[in-house]
Structure 1
Amino acid sequence: MEDITASLSPRQERRQDPTADMRRISDASSIPSPTASLFSDPEHLKNMSKSVPSFLQKEDAGSDIDSPTGDGDHAGRLMTGSSLNSLTGSSGMASLSSLSGSVMTMYSGDFGNVEVQGNIQFSINYIQKLREFHIFVAQCHDLAAVDPKRGRSDPYVKSYLVPDKANLGKRKTSVKKKTLNPTFNEILRYRVRMEYLRTQILIISVWHNDTFGRNSFLGEVDVDLSKWDFDHTQMNYLPLKARTAPTLAPSHGRGEMRLALRFLPEIIHSEGLVKEGQSTGEVHIWMKECKNLPLIRATIDPYVKCFVLPDTSRKSRQKTRVLRRTVDPAFNHTMVYDGIRQADLSEACVELTVWDRDRLASNLLGGLRIGAGTGRSYGALVDWMDSTPFEAALWERMMATPNEWVEDVLPLRVLNSAKTGFK
């Protein structure tokens, strides 16, 4: 395979504003029970929102009381990064940062320790002028008692859109104390386009809040938004269902990625010598193209974002350029990470995620995690070391053939991104 990096001159990649597409809105505001006229009046909804400061803030995933604890800082030295449409010579040491497990919180908590019962009353509506999806949570009735002796629970309601839960995140109501028949009258809001919403499934789940332990699952309902009649804004009264085991959404229909990898254990400089004291090498990631990406709106503008985990710092993040109006983007973009030792390869994982750049937000289309797939990194259990057999096989081929490019075409999958804060 021809090494494209040999013929390209160094050039600093133009950085885009990392906050440009962090315009998602999270809110759960207490209001009186709505009528159809209230839902249809955007100005009224705007005024309601102004009374809630958190409406204008990005949801802090780390503050969720049912989130698992972070994995903590990891030992080991990784890596300076440089990104190349052409090769760039710039790099800077990136400090290791702790990883939050918050992207997996949809499936955290205790399942099956409480028998599911009861109902939930809610309505959903899309406000065209605001480009907002609203879920009005009215009340629950006859919930299971987590404290059977006193016959009570401390319930709250949580919502997700899947398979895109890692990007848009969860929304939650307040906690109602010591009741099996809570009244919420709260709106959970998502800033999202209708065409994207049509690709999602809404999951509304009810939980008992345990201040000192793991929260308990009380039941859920799911709504396939691709088939939903959004003209229907009346109340829905549905029985809660049990979830016997956490199952992730299917990954079919995400498209595929062609890429090549190589590891250079020693860096040969122009004088033909290894730099004195050099004990680390480089990983090169040649992002060639994607095919058959999901068309989540009329046209998509894809780009690829890369981290070498466990480093999720801003310096570790590298991105391709955005290619407009295509489901088959040819990026031909090489990313370089240096400061990597041979021993680090068994502990690190390349996370590649494909995004659609929209004016409101970047939407996650799918991704890969290429690594050993052992579930551990530097001795710690991590949920991101989850490479599929095909992804792990490519990584093993790279480790077995230093200095040589190895290439494959891999299917993109639904990925709970370890780092979605910067797009």
Structure 2
Amino acid sequence: MADEVDLESLKELEREVILQVLYRDRAVQSIEEERIRKLKTHLQHLRWKGAKSSSQEYREKCCARCQRALGLLLNRGAVCQGCSHRVCSECRVFLRRTHTWKCTVCFEDRNMKIKTGEWFFEERAKKFPTEGKHETAGAKLLQSYQRLSKISVVPPTPPPLSESQCGGSPSRGSLISINSTCTEMGNFDNANNVTGEIEFAIRYCFKTQSLEICIKSCKNLAYGEEKKKKCNPYVKTYLLPDRSSQGKRKTRVQKNTLDPTFEETLKYQVDPAQLVTRRLQVSVWHLGTLARRVFLGEVILSLATWDFEDSVVQTSHSYPLRSKAEKYEDGVPQNNGELAVRAKLVLPAGSRKVQETQEDQLSLNGQLCLVVLGAKNLPVRSDGTLNSFVKGCLTLPDQQKLRLKSPVLKKQGCPQWKHSFVFNGVSSSQLRQSSLELTVWDQAIFGMSDRLLGGARLGTKGGAAGSVDSCSQSKLQWQKVLSSPNLWTDMTLVLH
């Protein structure tokens, strides 16, 4: 069909419009290919973690996924119908509306085929085995465009992948359907200008420990002069800094209006002590064709000084919509909580001068001891809890990495691990050129990706990018640890 279309016969404006559409289509295809690549990479990592394969033999009977030992009478495991490997009860995922189950790897493989649409092409290949891949008409038109020199069309920048794109972990006993694989496909367009206002009220019920956002209405929304009658607005909220799919709330979509009325209440389960560390983000979006989202404006309110016992404050108010805020305001990284640690450099007995002159001989006798005490103000889930753990990575001057991990504390919003990390075989001269990175994670279920809550770094590259104060403070703390061997140093690290 592309051979029948002659771009030379069209006017320059017509060519430009057609090519802009084709370039946008190619950009969307590139984003989709990158999304599929990440899904396949994640699946491959899960397969590598598996303990068994058909070409390996094992002396002991254990789960093929988590390598947990299986018993003779209790917890004997069962054979997965997909891969024929024996797995324990914790590594099984039951499918919705059925009594069947699959192991975590087989479930993720099925989930990946659903999200990418590979199941359709597999079934199509069975029905039409001789059908090959053909070049599309749009691709041929773009190739022919390269020969034209009268038009100068710059391809649009591909839209960024949003955090909520294809995000979220499947709950036990559930199966993600095709229509819910990508709840947010990114910002494919933006409103020409942000105008209008939104009316809502914020209330907190201390009895049920629930925060209620009562969305009333919006007025004078802007979505282009030529599309006024096709604006389909809805409201989305986050309780920052949590931007996960579990922390997202949305209203219903109102059709063909610039002054929508919602009258809906969005709720969050959050502890009262957590309210002072959270910010409420209320944004307005337009739902276009092919699930294209358009940003229409937002409001961000800090809850630190909010008086929830004042009845006047809990009434609805109108707020002007503003443009999208930068991720880091004024170059300062986002604060994702604080991590309390205690560190000590343990050196062999002897005078300090002797130690400094014999650094090379003592390089294998020193220890860096670190106690991860606890964390607070973390970006918790919607229920106010986390299944959190801490990873520690000490990078030595020769780029050798020593990694340690704490146990998982489940269902805690302010975890207190009190777990010790001990890095053996180090000296003060090595540590002066080393860096220690601590990251806090929220454990996912069923083999899905864990969520990074924040991190901090001590050492030669301490601090977060763009934060001079944090960088200098971390260097001073690290120098204090190295200059005071065999003494504990308490630190509070800001997570970014």
Q: What TM-score do the two structures reach when normalised by structure 2?
A: 0.40
TM-score by length of 1: 0.46
Name the structure with the higher helix share. 2
Greater share of strand residues, 1 or 2?
1
Structure with greater Cα Rg: 2
